[in-house]
Structure formats: structure tokens, C-alpha cells
């Protein structure tokens, strides 16, 4: 009863097959996309420029950052016992950055492509690794899927309407099914289950989306953000591992192992982390960065360097997007 039926087969088919977001999202509800498909769209120079810029960000995230992360991650996860705890930990954090840049890079390309046609797709990411807790993380990571799970699983199960125990059960079931949606493997079930436990724990101690756990040392929001990133990264081990045994090998390697990453790889980890942080701070329109990029020459140079990076510094052989397998 919330959406008027679309009676024109052509518009309906265009909604179903709208190619930029078709494979990996964002998952578009008819309320946003159908309305725009029924409108007329005229050429707009500024809109096209912004669309191309967003596509460039997406290509940079995928080809330069995500694919370069994959070179190290694949190497370490291929034989975890050959690396010491620090090397395995860095590879685990690199996979967190890889899947973020891989997936949000696709979203940027899809949103930028759509903008060329005058279509605005919904945002699918809002700097999730700057979240203060897991509840906030799931408000900012794969937003369209999170909303879908909330509206079509969590709420029909009862949501938070029938007391604390019922709420905890519904959170766990929603996240377990969300994990199983990615594939019929115990690793995905464990990944979803861990996030369910995180959400239940936060609900039990009264953590909300906008309020993090007060750190023992008062240093702003940084400790809670780092702690949240660490929790999320540990769950990514199960998401990345080919099977449960490989995931256990990775965790064992965190406390044992024989060799570390080469120094050039360690430096690369730092550079990649800085790049992702700067991109997310820019996306949040931090005043310091905005002051620097407000000059056309600086902005032109920045986008020029992104284009050069896509051409020159791409890592790997153009691997497919991670979410193409789901």
C-alpha cells in the first residue's frame, strides 16, 4: 500500500534492468528509482561533470586500492602459517580496506553512471569505518541491504516490540540470515552470527547509533572508532576465508608464524590506510580538506592524479568485484 503500481511495461522493465546498479547495488526501491524514470531529464553540464568525477573515484578505489590490497591479502591467506602475527594482522586489516574500496568503488561507478542520465541512486556507504560502534556501522555499511534486512526480516519478526529477549532473538536471526544470503557456507553464517552478537551486546548495554561506549581513557571518539574497526576486521576473516579451516589457520597465525611482510608491503599498508582515511574525510566534507580543494587548480590537479593513478598504479590484473560472486 505504499507504492503505486507501475502499469507501463517499458518503465517497469527499465526499473528491473537498470544496469548501473544491477549486479551489486545499491538495492533500489521503486519509490526512488521509478519516480525518476517517469521524469524527463535534460542535459546538465555540472551534473555530468559530477557524475564523471564520482566514477573516477570509484575506479581509483577499485583498481588502485582494492586490487593492490588483494595482492598482499591473497598471498598471506594462501599460506597463513608462513607469516607472523603482525603480517597476518596487517593482511586482515588490508582485506577490510579491500572489500570496502571494492564495494564502495562499484557503488561510486554505478551512482556516477546513473548521474550522467539524470538519475540519482541512493547512497550505499557513509564512511562506515569511522563508526563509533557496530550499530552505527550497520547504519553506514551497505545501507540499502541493511534497510532491506530491517524492513523485510527484522520488523516482520517482531523488531523490538516484544521485550528485550525477543529483540535479541530477532537481531540474531536477521544477521544470521544476512550472512547466509552471501552464500551457503559456515564462514558466512559465523560472520553474520558475530555481527548479531555485537548488536545484541550493544543493545544490552544501552549503546545507540549516536552514542559510543565511553572509553576508559578520555581521548574523544578515536578509541571507540578504532575498537569498532578492529571488531569488524576480525569478522572479515570468516568472510574472506575459503572455508572454516582456513579461517582458523589465520587466527592461529596471529599468535604464531615464522615470517613477516616485506618492508615495502608494510609501507604500502600505511599509504593505503592514509588514502582511505583522506577519501572518507573528504566525503564527510572536513573543513581543512575543503579549504584546500576549493581552488579549481588544486581540484583539477587532484582529479588528474586520480586519473593517472588508475592508469599507472592499478594493482593486479583487473580482478572482478568481490560482490559479483553473491
| Active centre residues (catalytic) | 182
Does residue 178 contact residue 154 with C-beta atoms inside 8 Å? Answer: no
Residue 218's region, left for phi above 0, alpha for psi from -120 to 50, else beta, is beta
Grid cell in block for residue 29: 526501491
- The CA dihedral of 201, 202, 205, 207, to the nearest 10 degrees, is 180
Other C-beta atoms closer than 10 Å to the C-beta of 145 total 16
Q: For the range 32-38, what are the long-range contacts, defined as Cβ-Cβ under 8 Å and sequence gap of 24 or more?
A: 32/120, 32/121, 32/122, 33/119, 33/121, 34/3, 34/6, 36/118, 36/119, 36/120, 37/11, 37/119, 38/11
Alpha helices in 20-63 (DSSP H): 30-37, 45-59
Task: Give the dihedral sign, CA 295/296/298/299.
Answer: positive
Rg (CA), the chain: 21
DSSP assigned state of 211: B
Assigned C-alpha cell, 230: 578492529
Listing DSSP states for 162-193 in one string gives S-HHHHHHHHHHHHHHHHHHH-SSHHHHHHHH
Q: Is 243 left (phi over 0), alpha (psi -120 to 50) or beta?
A: beta
Cell triple for 200 = 545484541
Amino acid at each position: 500500500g505504499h507504492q503505486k503500481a507501475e502499469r507501463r511495461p517499458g518503465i517497469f522493465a527499465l526499473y528491473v534492468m537498470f544496469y548501473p546498479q544491477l549486479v551489486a547495488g545499491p538495492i533500489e526501491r521503486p519509490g526512488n528509482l521509478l519516480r525518476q524514470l517517469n521524469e524527463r531529464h535534460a542535459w546538465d553540464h555540472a551534473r555530468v561533470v559530477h557524475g564523471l568525477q564520482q566514477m573516477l573515484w570509484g575506479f581509483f578505489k577499485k583498481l588502485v586500492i582494492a586490487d593492490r590490497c588483494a595482492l598482499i591479502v591473497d598471498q598471506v591467506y594462501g599460506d597463513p602459517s608462513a607469516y607472523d602475527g603482525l603480517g597476518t594482522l596487517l593482511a586482515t586489516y588490508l582485506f577490510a580496506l579491500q572489500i570496502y574500496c571494492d564495494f564502495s568503488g562499484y557503488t561510486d561507478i554505478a551512482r556516477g553512471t546513473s548521474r550522467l542520465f539524470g538519475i540519482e541512486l541512493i547512497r550505499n556507504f557513509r564512511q562506515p569505518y569511522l563508526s563509533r560502534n557496530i550499530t552505527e556501522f550497520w547504519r553506514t555499511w551497505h545501507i540499502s541491504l541493511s534497510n532491506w534486512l530491517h524492513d523485510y526480516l527484522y520488523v516482520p519478526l517482531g523488531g523490538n516490540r516484544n521485550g528485550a529477549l525477543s529483540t535479541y532473538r530477532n537481531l540474531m536471526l536477521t544477521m544470521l540470515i544476512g550472512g547466509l544470503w552471501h552464500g551457503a557456507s559456515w564462514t558466512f553464517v559465523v560472520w553474520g552470527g558475530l555481527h548479531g552478537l555485537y548488536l545484541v551486546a550493544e543493545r544490552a548495554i544501552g549503546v545507540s547509533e549516536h552514542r559510543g561506549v565511553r572509553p576508559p581513557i578520555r581521548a574523544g571518539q578515536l578509541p571507540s572508532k578504532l575498537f569498532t574497526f578492529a571488531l569488524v576486521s576480525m569478522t572479515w576473516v570468516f568472510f574472506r576465508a575459503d572455508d572454516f579451516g582456513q579461517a582458523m589457520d589465520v587466527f592461529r597465525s596471529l599468535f604464531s608464524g615464522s615470517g613477516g611482510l616485506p618492508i615495502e608491503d608494510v609501507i604500502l599498508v600505511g599509504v593505503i590506510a592514509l588514502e582511505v582515511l583522506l577519501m572518507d574525510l573528504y566525503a564527510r566534507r572536513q573543513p581543512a580538506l575543503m579549504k584546500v580543494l576549493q581552488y579549481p587548480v588544486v581540484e583539477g590537479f587532484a582529479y588528474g592524479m586520480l586519473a593517472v593513478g588508475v592508469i599507472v598504479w592499478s594493482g593486479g590484473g583487473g580482478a572482478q568485484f568481490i560482490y559479483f560472486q553473491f
